Amino acid sequence: MGAVETGAGAAKRIVVKIGSALLVDDATGAIRQDWLDALADDVAALKAQDREVLIVSSGSIAAGRRLLGLSRGALKLEEKQAAAATGQIRLAHAYQTALARRGVTVAQILVSPADTEERRRHLNARNTILQLCRLGAVPVINENDTVATAEIRYGDNDRLAARVATMVSADLLVLLSDIDGLYSADPRRDPTARHIPEVPAITPEILAMAGDVALSSEQGGLSTGGMKTKLDAARIAVAGGCAMAIAKGWDAHALSAFAAGGARATWFRPQTEPLTARKRWIAGALKPIGAITVDAGAAAALARGKSLLPAGALGLEGAFERGDPVRILGPDGAPLAKGLAAYSAEDAARILGRKTTEIGEILGYVGRAELVHADDLVLDGAPGRGARAGRAAVAPDGAESLE
């Protein structure tokens, strides 16, 4: 997408995140049917333009709590889980009915962090979601709140949507919110607050602007995320090569207005070519479960975009399996990169420091020549090959530090 482009532009695969406050009436817990019907029109219109649309929708807890008599105050975790179980079925039904009237089939996907972060589960979730898109359906995605405990929750659908967007290699993530983007100060309190149309890099100044303001409180306090989680989402999305926009979703047909480029929004754009799907995922979502220490020669080779060969590896830690994400450390222990191991820790330990030609003899089978292939490897501070302008403003593994 060009720098001046607004709206949906050329994006082919779009993830739209819907906040609870937009979809569920705070006073009654009812679905805002007219709003949803308008959204369904907008989604159908985007699909008619040959784009794939995925919805990440909040609202299960807000829609379910009153049905269980949980009408007032903050909910305990188990009450949220119960409310989500009740509300999610209602939410899914509402989407199904609204979109069916436009001839669009929906499919429900409930995910947990492990589904985007664990390699095998990630592949399953990605394949299923992409298959649904290929078959013309609109996946409606939410967190699997009923079984999510505090430790294993995303907790907010902003970051969940960003994880999903990068997992499925989306071009664009739109956070439909109750505000039209980021401001230089809290616009509810400061009349001089300026709207920021584009954020080239998520700098400490930008983070400071977001503060911890829960922007939805004015609309009834339904939403979990404030501007902070939206910036966290932007960081994940942009690191994964996906553009993100925060747009106001409150009015009917907000998505169409945004898609046509007529709505004010704050844009976060990836600064390089999109990474390959695999690199996006390695950069944005994977938690390393082991480490390989390499020698100085290998460290220099990695910096030039080369693979890690067994000959350059000095040591390892962690019980990783083949295909698991590992951190790659320099001889001094400094983190250099993250990648997918081509061998299990057990087998890797046996070929450390050995020539590639010796692998077959040592292990009794010939695996890959590399311990971590360059295609499966992302340098810290530079996902993808070579330097990445603007990335310096982002912590090397910022996505993970958000957990």
Residues forming contacts to ligand GLU in the complex (CB under 6 A) are 20, 58-62, 84, 142-143, 145, 156-157, 223-225
- What's the min distance (Å) between Cβ of 41 and ligand GLU? 23
Closest approach of Cβ 215 to ligand GLU, in Å? 12
Q: How far is the CB of 160 from ligand GLU (least distance, A)?
A: 7
By beta-carbon proximity to ligand GLU, the closer residue of 216 and 266 is 216
Residue 51 neighbours by CB distance under 10 Å: 19
Nearer to ligand GLU, 63 or 329 (CB): 63
Rounded Cα–Cα distance for residues 79 and 142 (Å): 17
Kindly tell me which of 228 and 385 has the beta carbon lying closer to ligand GLU. 228
Instruction: Output the smallest distance, CB 250 to ligand GLU, in A.
Output: 16
CB of 392 to ligand GLU, least distance (A): 29
By beta-carbon proximity to ligand GLU, the closer residue of 60 and 307 is 60
CB 12 within 8 A of CB 166: no
Q: Which is nearer to ligand GLU, 117 or 145 (CB)?
A: 145
CB of residue 175 vs ligand GLU: minimum separation in angstroms?
10
Residue 163 or 327 having the CB closest to ligand GLU: 163
